[in-house]
Structure formats: structure tokens, C-alpha cells
Amino acid sequence: MGILDGKRILITGVLAETSIAFHVAKVAQQEGAQVVLTAYPRPSLTARIARRLPAPPPVIELDVTSATQLDTLADRIREHADGLDGVVHAIGAAPRTALGGNFLNTSWEDVATAVHTSAYSLKSLTTACLPLMKEGGAVVGLDFDASRAWPLYDWMGVAKASLESCARYLAKYVGPQGIRVNLVAAGPLETPAAKGIPGFRDVADVWTEHAPLGWDTGDPVPTARACVALLSDWFPATTGEILHVDGGAHAMGASNAKSGRT
């Protein structure tokens, strides 16, 4: 019997087998959950990837910037599940002009796209799913440490800071309904999203050097397990939290954190 036995979980962001969301879906199923996926912009691609999961789940098209699709989301989920116990927000995107050192020249239109897609969508997705959720439900979002400025991450870093604040306010407003909202801040992982970030390898090398536990950029399973744990009933009094799964790098200073390892 798994820690998600009988739970119904909606998971966004499965774009490839290397996606963190794919591994969240895989671990969730292994722990007993019924999973439903959303996909954008290519539902057929997600459906193909979904066949590699232990039990291929249904796939629903969802553009989180579309009010029409959000308005119909609950009804479309009901075609596959009679309710939801958890939602995973694994969505983040920004125009290339918002990354790569172009911070001072990025237009508001491109900044707005990044913030809408990567931060406001946490609120949009959550409120669209609320009619299906009951007390004890959980929302888990994927984050990247926004406490500092990372090279070339630019407006995506601002969007992640907005995501973190949004999660805290969501926790405040849906808490009275018994619903928890938490984020998992993973270290850099070799995902489809990472391929679009200039300088990703430089940041990953720094992480590997400074994480006292070490950090494997090719292993999303620890992050997936953390998400599944937060979706379970094992954290009934935890909300508004950012759980770091990064080998401990976030807690280290600028010196070589590995110097004490044996």
C-alpha cells in the first residue's frame, strides 16, 4: 500500500521522459495514485510519453493562459476522475528575449508572458481545480531558488520569485478549505526546460561543486519523491513552504561546501 493509495492527482508539464513531471507521475502511480495529465502545446506528444508510465493515464489539453480552457477544466477532468486530491504545477516558460543577459532590454510584453505562464498560472490552475478538491488536498509546484540572481536567468528568475510569493498567498486563501500549497525547489536538472536556459551548464557546475550531498543533474527522482511526499497525508500541517531538494546547496555560502566531505 503506497502513500498515495486511492488519491487522484492532476499533473501538468510532462513534455518528455526527462521531465520532472514525468517522474512525479511515475512515482505517484507506484505509490497508488490515479493520475491525469494535462498537456500543451502538443497533447499527442504527451500522450505518447505517457505510454511509458506504469499505467498510461488520460491526457487533457490545457493552455494555462487560456481562460476558456481553464473554465472547462473541471468538467473535462470529471470525464476521467470524480474528484482531485492533488495538483502538480510543473509549468514555466519565458520568451528567449527574457533570458540570456537581455534583462535591461526585455519588453513588458515578454515579461508579462513569463510571469503569466510561470507564476500567475499557479493561481489559475488551483482555482480551476478547486471545485474538485476537498479538505486534505494538496497543490505542489516546481520551483528554482529565487533568493538570488542567477547568471542569464533574468526575467525567469523574477517569475520564479513571483511564483514563490503566489504560493504563499494561495496557501493563505485556500487554507481555510483544508488545502495545502507548497513548492519544491530543485537544483538544476537536465530537463527540456533547462535546454532553453542560456548558461545552464555553468549554473549546474556551480551546484555540483557546492552541494554538500553532491548533486546529479541527470537524476530527477529525488525531486519527484519530494513532490509525492507533499501530495500525501504525511504533511498535514505544512503549507506555504518551499522544500529544497538540491543536495543542500541553497544553505551553503560561497566557499566550497564539499570541503568537509569524506
Q: Could you list the active site residues? A: 153, 160
How crowded is residue 156: how many other Cβ atoms within 10 Å of its Cβ?
A: 24
Q: Distance between CA 97 and CA 74 in Å, rounded? A: 34
How crowded is residue 182: how many other Cβ atoms within 10 Å of its Cβ?
A: 24
- Nearest CA to 212 among 182, 157, 250? 250
| Cβ–Cβ under 8 Å, residues 38 and 66 | no
Provide the Cα torsion 176, 69, 224, 113; round to 10°.
Answer: -100
| Cβ–Cβ under 8 Å, residues 189 and 200 | no
Q: Distance between CA 191 and CA 220 in Å, rounded? A: 9
Q: Which residues pair with 183 in a beta bridge?
A: 141, 242
* Strand order across the beta sheet in which 180-186 lies: 59-61, 34-39, 8-11, 84-89, 133-143, 180-186, 242-245
Burial-class residue 258 by CB neighbours within 10 Å (0-12, 13-18, 19+).
Answer: middle
